[in-house]
Each structure stands twice: as C-alpha cells, then as structure tokens.
C-alpha cells in the first residue's frame, strides 16, 4: 500500500436483530454512514445475533450497529457482547438503537440495561443520524488516542 494513500474507511456491520422486520430506519442510517465515509455491510431485517458476529469477523469490521423497533431488543441482544468475545471481537464497538423494550420505560433505565449488557452506546427511537455519526467518530478517535498513549498497552 502506498504510504501516501488515505486510510481505509472503518467498516461497520448494520442490521435489524431478531424477528424484527422494521428496516427503513436502518437503511437511512446505513446511507448516512456511507455518506460520512464509513464502509457499511448491511445485513437487513430478521438477523440473528450470531450473523452480526459472523459478518463482523468475515469483514474485519470495526463496529456493529444493531437496530430493533418491535420492542424485543432487550431479549434479542442478551449475551451479544459475550458472542463477540467468543469470536475474538472483545474490543469491537457495538451500538444498539430503536424501540428496544416493550411499554413505556424511562430511557435512562433502558440505556443503563444495555450498557450493562456490554453495549458501548444505546440510542432511543428518533435519534438523528448525525448524532450517531458524531458518537462513532468520537468513540473511534478516543480508542485511537488510547492506543497511542503511553501506558495504555494491553498485555
């Protein structure tokens, strides 16, 4: 590779988890991510958790972005970080967003549950794509800065 060549774009795997068929928001997000310079591997609707992980391994993805709108996201996402760890993706960035639970629940409580499950970020329904892209850019920069900082090397 030519040293003057730009860095290759970060790869993100996106899709709608479980038995959910709500794909429009996920497609809008994928288009916005591509416009922002990300390489997007779109899995579509009705995607099992293991398929996200398999695709991330196969494409050497930098992140996984899971969408769910039908309210069963909490069930569908249980154990997701563990699947990533088992596949050798312990440090992969994982985001989740949408209508993740059944019924009206305070967003702060919902978000906390998903962070406790190992997600790096959880977004409520109606989150704007620019907010997600800003968070991604910030999280990838923070990870890159941590790798370059002395004393942060992992054993």
Catalytic residue chosen out of the listed positions 7, 22, 76, 130: 22
Alpha helices (runs of H) in the chain, residue ranges in sequence order: 24-35, 49-59, 73-77, 80-86, 107-116, 129-148
Catalytic residue chosen out of the listed positions 7, 20, 91, 139: 20
> How far apart are the C-alpha atoms of 47 and 77, rounded to whole Å?
11
145 is known as an active-site residue? no
For the record, the structure tokens of 127 come out as 């989150």
> How far apart are the C-alpha atoms of 95 and 120, rounded to whole Å?
6
> Distance from first CA to last CA of the chain, Å, rounded?
29
20 is known as an active-site residue? yes
Among all chains, which residue has been given the structure tokens 């985001």? 95
Are 69 and 97 a contacting pair, CB within 8 Å?
Answer: no
Active site residues: 20, 22
């Amino acid at each position: 590779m030519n040293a003057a060549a730009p860095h290759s774009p970060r790869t993100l795997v996106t899709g709608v988890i479980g038995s959910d068929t709500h794909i429009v928001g996920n497609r809008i997000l994928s288009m916005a991510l591509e416009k922002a310079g990300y390489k997007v591997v779109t899995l579509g609707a009705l995607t099992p958790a293991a398929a996200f992980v398999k695709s991330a391994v196969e494409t050497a993805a930098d992140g996984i972005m899971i969408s769910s709108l039908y309210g069963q996201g909490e069930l569908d996402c249980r154990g997701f970080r563990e699947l990533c760890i088992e596949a050798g993706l312990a440090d992969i960035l994982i985001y989740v967003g949408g209508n993740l639970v059944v019924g009206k629940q305070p967003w702060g409580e919902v978000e906390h549950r998903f962070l406790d499950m190992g997600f790096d970020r959880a977004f409520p329904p109606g989150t704007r794509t620019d907010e997600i892209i800003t968070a991604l850019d910030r999280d990838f920069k923070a990870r890159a800065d941590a790798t370059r900082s002395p004393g942060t090397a992992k054993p």
